[in-house]
Amino acid sequence: MSAVDPSLIERIIRDDVRAMGAYHVADSHGLVKLDAMENPYRLPPELRAQLAARLGEVALNRYPVPSSEALRAKLKTVMNVPAGMDVLLGNGSDEIISMLSLAAARPGAKVMAPVPGFVMYAMSAQFAGLEFVGVPLRPDFTLDRAAMLAAMAEHKPAIIYLAYPNNPTGNLFDADDMAAIVRAAQGEVCQSLVVVDEAYQPFAQESWMPRLTEFGNLLVMRTVSKLGLAGIRLGYVAGAPEWLSQLDKVRPPYNVNVLTEATALFALEHVAVLDDQAAKLRAERSKLVEAMAGMPGVTVFPSAANFVLVRVPNAAQIFDRLLARKVLIKNVSKMHTLLANCLRVTVSTPEENAQFLEAFKASLQD
């Protein structure tokens, strides 16, 4: 086998891409997995059997119907998308973010979001040749309205992302602050598309979906991953058809496969089961927060998501001690200076939460 010439790679692959690291997913084999904000509950056995039968009838030899009309109609009904609005589907929210970046990638265009925030806003912007402008949150992770408006006036971003609730901090930004930003982006300060990312909406129970008809420059993006369907990779964005028809032009053909579509349709027919699971996780979140808040040296931040952000005396040390005890969480302390010594833990079942709390308490005392 001939060796790959490094100079050829340097000539072909962009310098910034070669300097990057790939998106890292930790090996969780044999561990209590609390690092990826997944719903720990599976479908009940009887529904799994029904789903298996449904999938057995899917025509795997045919391409998907590109419009996915049945799934889009079901999402609009179940997720209370306002009349007159439409939805566009993606292979997870990540692909929708990529579509947004690609569609807006004029020379010199910029993307803006509060930081720390979801890393794919910046990564997708970079991949598409857009400049990313991060506006720091306040030390308590609340939205800095004045700083955002000033940055909008200076940079005139094409797209502004507001995560609701935010990842990795878990909090909901003030609704009045967000509304001020959306209004300012209608022409008062700049002309920008504002995308409210509601990936964790099942755990927040607050939404900007009803306000789509209020703002002509607003889209609401969601995923079914956190609802309990992370394995099927389905995201969607809701908004005015005028916006979505443009994004549809850069959507890869057949981007939602037939098994994903069939599974999502089935799950939406039984959404009450998923809603019940979300309610259980909200209750477990409260217990987890209360337990950690009582531990010395631990600061617990408010969360409206299915994870909790905590600050500890030494994040790297506590992370390693938890890993030694077979518990995997996320060390986010290097993501941003505001996250110094912060760890993010996914809310799970009562049994796994108890395992985590026992290991966490012991790790603090080592």
Phi, psi of 44 (to 5 degrees): -60, 150
Q: Residue 50: inside a domain, yes or no?
A: no
Whether 258 and 324 map to the same domain: the answer is no
Of 234, 269, 304, which residue is a domain's last? Answer: 269
* CATH code of the domain covering residue 87: 3.40.640.10
pLDDT at 343: 98
Total of domains in the chain: 2
DSSP one-letter code for 158: S
What's the domain range around 294? 6-44+272-365
86-128 per-position pLDDT tens digit = 999 999 999 999 999 999 999 999 999 999 999 999 999 999 9
Whether 19 and 163 map to the same domain: the answer is no
* CATH code of the domain covering residue 276: 3.90.1150.10
Whether 221 and 72 map to the same domain: the answer is yes
Of 207, 235, 269, which residue is a domain's last? Answer: 269
Whether 230 and 147 map to the same domain: the answer is yes
34-55 per-position pLDDT tens digit = 999 999 999 999 999 999 999 9
pLDDT for residue 2 is more than 80? no
Whether 285 and 355 map to the same domain: the answer is yes
| Full-model pTM | 0.94
DSSP 228-296: IIGGG--EEEEE-HHHHHHHGGGSPTT-S-HHHHHHHHHHHHTHHHHHHHHHHHHHHHHHHHHHHHTST
Of 269, 286, 311, which residue is a domain's last? Answer: 269
pLDDT band (50, 70, 90) for residue 3: confident
